Amino acid sequence: MILIKSAARSRTVALNFMLPSDLDMRLMRQALAEAEKALCLGEVPVGAVLVCDEVTVAAHNLKEERLDATAHAEMLVLSEASKNLGRWRLGGTLYVTLEPCVMCAGALVQSRVDRLVFGAYDPRGGGCGSIVDLVREPRLNHRMEVLGGVLAEDASSLLGKLFGDLRG
């Protein structure tokens, strides 16, 4: 949070400047590497990394392979982290290459994730600002810090490759 004193109107304006840290960039690149693995399998290329205490878990979308609509990258890392840590209340930071859908946004709230960093916005299915904003909904019992658009072009270009292949 940076406070700027406006000379013209002599009032203080609060602006939120949230920039990704070097660590955020490194972990988003790891999530992008997961998304590439999904692309190689013919899955929609979305990858996720969850950093939670001493545990770092990475996964990619496996919806087609598992024939399971819930096998999104985010759901897989949440489950794996819960198994590893022996708890469902996770905290931590989730990195994902695409804005989470409403299912995953709900799961992030349920898992009490502290912070969400995502890549490309999803205007057709995003549950974290694009269509609804479940992760910052004041009527729910948990909210998190959100940073969107991190390495978004890389994430979009992977998605474009899949849909380009399907068309060709």
Catalytic positions are 74
The reply to whether 72 sits near Zn ion by the rule CB under 5 A is yes
The reply to whether 60 sits near Zn ion by the rule CB under 5 A is no
The reply to whether 71 sits near Zn ion by the rule CB under 5 A is no
CB atoms within 10 A of CB 153: 11
**Distance of alpha carbon 117 from alpha carbon 83, whole angstroms:** 22
* Contact between 94 and 113 (Cβ < 8 Å): yes
Cα angle vertex 118, ends 85, 135, to 5°?
A: 70
The reply to whether 113 sits near Zn ion by the rule CB under 5 A is no
Instruction: Give the count of residues interacting with Zn ion (CB under 5 A).
Output: 4
The pairing of beta strand 115-120 with beta strand 145-147: parallel
| Contact region with Zn ion (CB under 5 A), list: 5-13, 22-30, 49-57, 104-112 | 104-112
Candidate list 44, 71, 101, 116; residue touching Zn ion; CB under 5 A: 101
* Site residues, Zn ion (CB under 5 A): 72, 101, 103-104
